[in-house]
Structure 1
Amino acid sequence: MTTKLNRRQFSSLLGSSAICVPSIVRAQSDQMRQFEGATLNMLAVQFAHHDALWSQVAEFEELTGIKVNIEFAPFENTRERTLLDMSSMSGRYDIFTVDIMWLAEYAAAGYLEPVANYLNNPDLTAEDYDVNDFIARVYSGTGVYRDRMYSIPYDCGTVGNMFRSDLMMEAGVPVPNRFDGTFTAESMREICGAIHENNQGISGFVTGPQRWFWGWMFTPYLYAWQNPDNYGNEFVNSNWEVTINSENNLAALEYYLGLRDFTPSDDLNYGYGEQLAVYQQGNAGGSITYSGFIGAHYEDPSLPIAGKNVALHTPIGPSGRTDPFFGSWGLSISADSRQKTAAWFFIQWITHKDRLANGAIGGGTAVRHSTYQNADFQAAAPWHAEMYDYMANVANPDERIRIPEWSEISDLMGFYGNKAWGGQITAEEALLGMERDMSKALRRGGYQREGASQPPQLWRDLSYYDRAPADWE
């Protein structure tokens, strides 16, 4: 169910809706009103930093007569629930929120409707939608698979760390600034150790070693630890042979496992929620996080830790590499929806620059140039505003390689990584297990078959993702 706000409440909350709404509706009132009385059903991941975006849905309903029902799922259950519905081809949901790491899996199976035919139709897309206002790499990085656009971005960010700057100062260690080059692997251990030793009962760091979370909590270390000669070969080489069992990756895993020196002793099955709770309660000096979570989970004024944190990236690796982690969420139309055009009207309305700016100022993230350049957004979320150049020019949309088998690869990392974290196997044994089982997965996928038509490895040349959004057909 959506939250109902009257026009006065909505304008008071977001400040600009009353003047922003007509721009897109005036050009499309007839088309939108032809779906009056229709109901759209959406399955969405449940994140607090999306709340301000979804709070605007009531305005869309009032303007169009289209009802939008949103059913929320916890992050760790979203893929399972989405695939269950998609594979049934029931058409129960018209719209899905899609994590970038699942796009290839969904699109390759034919579960998503390509959106270019809607986007490029002037009868269906308003003049002021301004697709080129999206950051090019965020736009295509979120939605393109095999040259086709399937998903429109509404959230993007990177994985990094939050540290208690007050505890760092008390422990006598300098507080780094994000992207100033001083937060290295060595300095992170120094910070964690100083907090750990200076505060009885407070862990220097907390992470989520639970099996499900290794695909986004460990992967950034894996990338940061590569030397220049090995960039692009983090998981596979140019012949699609699995390279996870490399010296660079062993060093990354050993470093990550070494953080156990500073983490809670009972953390083996911590997921994101558990490790966040430890940090929020003041029982850890550092925490891994996704940048989109900072406003709601770390800097919400109701939290005792608000204003005491410094947002940092994954530590710079031994060869000087900053991890290019790219995370994002987009809105996609189900291939089995019986109301695809109405679904597109909603997607373009909610991802219009005005709605996305309102959502970002209210706690979300930026995916458009105009949002990053918005003074209200910069004031509300300085930890996001400083990421503009990073998301536009550094972040790699294919860090988690864009193939349908990624979910299996991620799960295998978690299976063996969790065992290593618990001391059941060594780091070497973990990488051997990953290599063996990932190789089986890619052989099943036909990547190593003689004469196979292998997909391009786009993470090696990001110019593919940097073309103007309007150029995608």
Structure 2
Amino acid sequence: MSVVQPALAQENRSITISGVSSFSLIEPLIPQFEEMTGIDVDLQVLPYPQVRQRSMADFVSGTANSDIYGQDIVWLGEWAEKGYVVQLDDLIKRDLTQEDLDDILPGALDALSKWKGKTWSMPFGAYYFLMYYRQDLFDAAGLKAPVTLDDVDAAAAKLTDPATNMFGVSMPYQRGAPIASWFLATYTGAGGKLLKNPPENFAPTLDSPEALEVLTHYVDWLKYAPAGAIGHHWNDQTVAMQTGRIAMTPSFSINGTEFAKPERSVVAGKVGYTTMPRLSAEQEPVIPFGGWAVAINAKSEKVEDSWTFIKWLTSQDVQKQLALINGTPVRYSALEEPEVQKLYPWVSEIVAAEKEGQVFSDYRPRYPFYPQVEEILGLQLNRAALGEVTPAEALKIANEEITKVIKDAGHPVE
């Protein structure tokens, strides 16, 4: 990656891209694109908060320091409604066949890129939230894969042994996006939904008995987590699993691929997976969905070159190459590759879940107000984890404040 300069100051045949750490996985493939097109790529890999800050600074000021931004799923509605990014429908109609579009996972395309019937980005990585666990430790202890939240409690208690630096379960508890995202994934997996029934009723459900039960479990899991977990980001959770210190790690499939790589993980070949724990075994499983797309800055003067890169990045050939690296392609053809399924066996379950409608993309609603929701919820959940308030108090405060945000945004709350 080269020294960063504002996109508009670079040569005409160059583009600047800003994304989170998962975008670094495309770096080895970029020379292919540069040789094929003559377009130089300046890839900037930044921490999650910095991608948010840089993109919003660019959009609000009307500049183009990056031509392409990685777009978290929860930013879609905000970016679309405020016209921050280029609408892509005409370019898609011009350049992509229906057969090509049909190969893209419908859940990924609809959730990551479409807003009110229009397309504002193209999906880059489809992330599915699963429960990863140490199959070897479970087998040795005579345990089955956890199905319910109570199962997680029991297995965590049995497998925690601080004397050997082994802990039962690890979750992010850091204030903000880490604890908010992982709590909502746990709540969704247990059958909850943050909003009652949008667009008819946007009332938040954090004051429900189900939300309280989930948060009580979530906070109690600190007993079975490594020291310092109260400040853990999801990256800390991933490292703890990779280094063999954790028995269970609910996480996105992009992190599951890191557990499976022997060059990076001491637990490669020892990890099982299942759906997120439920309140009762009788409930149908739900797979929370997230991921990233790529969008073109509406102020970029390099729309065609940016679109050329996006077409390349989301093409069948490149998605198959990326599937072997990150296990999170957005195409059926890549997920169904035998080599990909051998490396990351959960992808076959993901294909089935997509076809059976078990994937839930709005576990973090994509409406423009969500960033405010995440800030409120992330603060109150962290306070509960720190013991500053009870779980019930945290959820009550969050529910009241989020209700006000949603009402102020003009949505019905009943």
Normalised by the length of structure 1, the TM-score is: 0.79
Per-residue CA deviations over 1:358-417 (Å, capped at 9, x if unaligned) read 111233412111112222222232232331112342112222122101111112111010
Inter-CA distance 412–442: structure 2 relative to 1 (3 Å threshold): same
CA shift, 1:280, in A, is 2.8
CA shift, 1:93, in A, is 1.2
**Kept in 1: contact 2:327–2:347 (CA 8 A):** no
**Kept in 2: contact 1:356–1:366 (CA 8 A):** yes
Say if 2:141 is the partner of 1:162.
Answer: no
Inter-CA distance 187–237: structure 2 relative to 1 (3 Å threshold): farther
Question: Equivalent residue of 2:131, what SS?
Answer: strand
Partner Cα separation in structure 1 for residue 199 and residue 56 of structure 2: 30
Per-residue CA deviations over 1:297-344 (Å, capped at 9, x if unaligned) read 453334222212112321122361423301121111111111111211
Normalised by the length of structure 2, the TM-score is: 0.90
Question: Equivalent residue of 1:43, what SS?
Answer: strand
Partner Cα separation in structure 2 for residue 315 and residue 208 of structure 1: 17
Structure 1 letter corresponding to 2:408: R
CA shift, 1:427, in A, is 1.1
Structure 2 letter corresponding to 1:300: P
Inter-CA distance 278–267: structure 2 relative to 1 (3 Å threshold): same
Find the partner of 1:214 among 179, 192, 196.
179
Equivalent runs, 1:20-31 vs 2, <5 Å:
none
CA shift, 1:284, in A, is 2.2
Structure 1: runs of 5+ lacking an equivalent: 3-35, 177-181, 451-473
The share of aligned pairs that are identical, in percent, is 23
Correspondence for 1:292: 254
Say if 2:189 is the partner of 1:224.
Answer: yes
Correspondence for 2:7: none
**Kept in 2: contact 1:159–1:216 (CA 8 A):** no
Correspondence for 1:40: 15
Question: Equivalent residue of 1:314, what SS?
Answer: coil
Count residues in correspondence.
404
Structure 1 letter corresponding to 2:132: M
Q: Which is further off, 386-395 or 110-119?
A: 386-395
Partner Cα separation in structure 1 for residue 123 and residue 286 of structure 2: 22
Find the partner of 1:89 among 40, 58, 62.
62
Q: Which is further off, 61-70 or 239-248?
A: 239-248
Note the aligned Cα RMSD (angstroms).
2.5
Structure 2: runs of 5+ lacking an equivalent: 3-10
Partner Cα separation in structure 1 for residue 271 and residue 72 of structure 2: 27
Partner Cα separation in structure 1 for residue 173 and residue 194 of structure 2: 25
Correspondence for 1:203: 167
Partner Cα separation in structure 1 for residue 327 and residue 186 of structure 2: 25
Correspondence for 1:279: 241
Partner Cα separation in structure 2 for residue 410 and residue 231 of structure 1: 14
**Kept in 1: contact 2:276–2:287 (CA 8 A):** no
> Structure 1 segments of 4 or more deviating over 4 A?
126-129, 197-200, 230-237
Partner Cα separation in structure 2 for residue 371 and residue 60 of structure 1: 19
Correspondence for 1:309: 271
**Kept in 2: contact 1:138–1:156 (CA 8 A):** yes
CA shift, 1:158, in A, is 1.5
Structure 1 letter corresponding to 2:113: G
Correspondence for 1:333: 296
Inter-CA distance 281–165: structure 2 relative to 1 (3 Å threshold): same
Structure 2 letter corresponding to 1:144: K
**Kept in 1: contact 2:194–2:364 (CA 8 A):** no
Say if 2:407 is the partner of 1:443.
Answer: yes
State the structure with more CA Rg. 1
Partner Cα separation in structure 2 for residue 417 and residue 236 of structure 1: 24
Correspondence for 1:29: none
CA shift, 1:345, in A, is 1.3
